[in-house]
A and B are shown apart, each in its own frame.
Chain A
Amino acid sequence: MISRWNRILPYIMIFPNVAIYFVFIFIPVLWAIYLSFTNYTILNPGGWVGLSNYETLLKDGIFHKAFWNTMVFWVLKVIPTIILGLIVAAMLNAGIRAVALFRGAIYLPGVLSSVAVSMAWLWLLHPRNGPINAIIKMIGIPPQNWLQDPELALPVVIVVSIWTNIGFAMIIYLAGLQGIPTHLYEAASIDGATGLKKFVYITVPMLKPITFFLFITLTIRSFQVFDIVYILTGGGPLNSTTTIVNQIVKTAFEEYNMGYASAQAIVLLLITIIVTMVNYRVGSKRTMD
């Protein structure tokens, strides 16, 4: 009796997690794939339409715009975030005092919700009364309509996103920097290497795995960007800031075209899987070396 109980017990212990995971993640992924081949709306159970949602995707100018914007957002966000995070971390790691104070201040934007962050920037960027226009006016630049200008809106959204993510990159790099053996630096000092040379030839190469981890994490986050876009610009003006997720939400929950929205979601899933696979391949190569 007791041994049978012991055989069942592990399954009971994992049951709550596994059940919720299958109901809310695993099955919904398969379901989303299925929905992407239907014309399901919330009112109409929908029928099989084959590849027609994907054909629409190929012709949909707004989705192309969203895809392109997401790519621009990704490249222009991830690279500066990583570089700035590394510089700040290296400064913090140079043996100064009050590390916790600086680290806390620099990470603080990362603790705030995307809604609160967006509210702060809506005020900073306010075309008439906002502080940023007041500052640039003092140095002779005319005030800008930051979030209503199709040329400026996407770069501004990217800057806001970089600002909230620098702290995260800094903390990860700081942990990595503390793992670099000090004897490497000592040896380089004996050879007469200066601070900058040490940084370029020791610090940066030693941090390669960490840079790679940050690159993957920030890439996945970039492809999922939604909150700040939705609140700051709503995807406008003229779709100049709309992203893949913004289009998914709009198509599914404003136009109720859930079949087509699911096809867009599958594009997002495929991109994420490709990035994760690259991560896995590079990671396993490294352990083999």
Chain B
Amino acid sequence: MKKKVKTMKMRYPANVLLMAGLTVVSILMIAPLLIMIFTSLKGDSEIANTTGSLLPKEWKFENYLLAMQVGNWAVYFKNSLIVTVLAVGGSLIFNSLSGYTFARVTFKGRDLIFIALLLGLMVPPQVTIIPQFILLKSVPLFGGNDLFGQGGQGWLDSYYALIVPELSGSLGIFLARQFYLGFPREMDEAASIDGSGIFRSYWRIYLPLSGPLLATLGILKTVHVWNDFFHPLIYTNSEAMRTIQLGLQVFHGQYEIKFNLLMAASVVVSLPLCIAFFVFQRHFVQSLIPTSVKG
């Protein structure tokens, strides 16, 4: 009893110290973002003033309207939205379906195919970018190409280039397989007595239980595709195909002097994922933790 009182006494000032320390760390971590927001609300003259204060003297919310009028942001948002929704939706269906098949169905060549898929975990996207570029450029009968994939730009500078390569993904298949391996064998037996084929079992029994898997894969893919700069940079060139990340970078190239508008555009581009993060923080955190660490 005496000991317990002592540890409680020890804990109290230590806790206050920890809270203070974490507050400082948190403020340091979000300071660049706060400055980004404050700067986005400052007037032009305040931006040019080297001894300006942290907070805007006059809160210029119209900066956001001005920033959105420079460049076709509606088009960039539409592009990012279309690409993200289709890439995430498609990859969720394909990954969960094949993950289930690899985990719960026995078929010839299964392990060999799965190992070949796992090799993809070792391949940096920058290694495949050149052949992918040539491949996308050579898709026959698209983008002005003839039957032999010559003469035009194929799938380059189209939604296909940004969506189709994202529909697979070794990590997604691997995580899906791990997830479906976690169910007891009796579930398949019950389903087969029931007369369900393997696809019916997936659709009727496993898919409705796949919430945690779909949340993890969905978050990983959404963040990846929405924030992707590398592939849109290489695969698109027209303004009509620009995603928001590329749009933001081009905006910077064109309007470097207007940092308040640049910061406003950066805030707008970041907002959707930041809101999603705060609403679904628990799921975001879960999606980052690999099964080996959880175990």
Contact = CB atoms under 8 A, between A and B. Distances in A.
Q: Are A and B bound to each other?
A: yes
A24 B231 CA distance: 13
26 contacts: A6-B198, A13-B100, A14-B98, A21-B120, A32-B128, A96-B19, A97-B19, A102-B23, A104-B277, A107-B284, A112-B33, A112-B227, A113-B269, A115-B249, A119-B36, A119-B265, A213-B290, A213-B292, A220-B124, A224-B124, A226-B230, A248-B129, A248-B130, A249-B234, A265-B126, A265-B127
Nearest to A13: B101
Given A115-B249, A120-B35, A268-B127, A129 B29 contact: no
B124 A24 contact: no
B80 to A, nearest CB: 10
Contact of B39 (A104, A123, A220): A123
Interface residues on B, range: 35 or more
B59 to A, nearest CB: 18
Interface of B: 11, 14-15, 18-19, 21-23, 25-27, 29-30, 32-33, 35-36, 39, 47-52, 54, 94-95, 97-98, 100-102, 105, 107, 110, 113, 116-117, 119-135, 137, 164-165, 167-170, 173, 197-199, 202, 223, 226-227, 229-230, 233-234, 245-246, 248-249, 252, 259, 262-263, 265-266, 269-270, 273-274, 277-278, 281-282, 284-285, 288-290, 292-294
A236 to B, nearest CB: 15
Contact of B124 (A35, A176, A230, A268): A268
Question: How many residues of A sit at the interface, in one of the four size bands?
Answer: 35 or more
A114 interface: yes
Given A14-B101, A105-B29, A112 B274 contact: yes
Contacts of B226: 113
Given A10-B105, A20-B168, A258 B199 contact: no
A253 to B, nearest CB: 6
Interface string A215-227: 0000010011011
Contact of B170 (A10, A21, A252, A265): A21
A168 B129 CA distance: 26
A277 B292 CA distance: 17
Contacts of A17: 94-95, 97-98, 117, 167-168, 173
Given A25-B168, A129-B50, A231 B293 contact: no
Interface of A: 6-7, 9-11, 13-14, 16-18, 20-21, 23-29, 31-32, 35, 42, 88, 91-92, 94-98, 100-109, 111-116, 119-124, 126, 128-129, 131, 133-134, 163, 166-168, 171-172, 175-176, 179, 195, 209-210, 213, 220, 223-224, 226-227, 230-231, 245, 248-249, 252-253, 258, 261-262, 265-266, 268-269, 272-273, 276
A98 B16 CA distance: 12
A120 B101 CA distance: 45
Contacts of B266: 115-116, 119-120
A113 B226 CA distance: 8
A6 B245 contact: no
Nearest to A36: B130
B234 A108 contact: no
Contacts of A126: 259
Given A265-B130, A272-B123, A14 B113 contact: yes
A114 B292 CA distance: 28
A10 B168 contact: no
Contacts of A111: 223, 270, 273-274, 277, 284
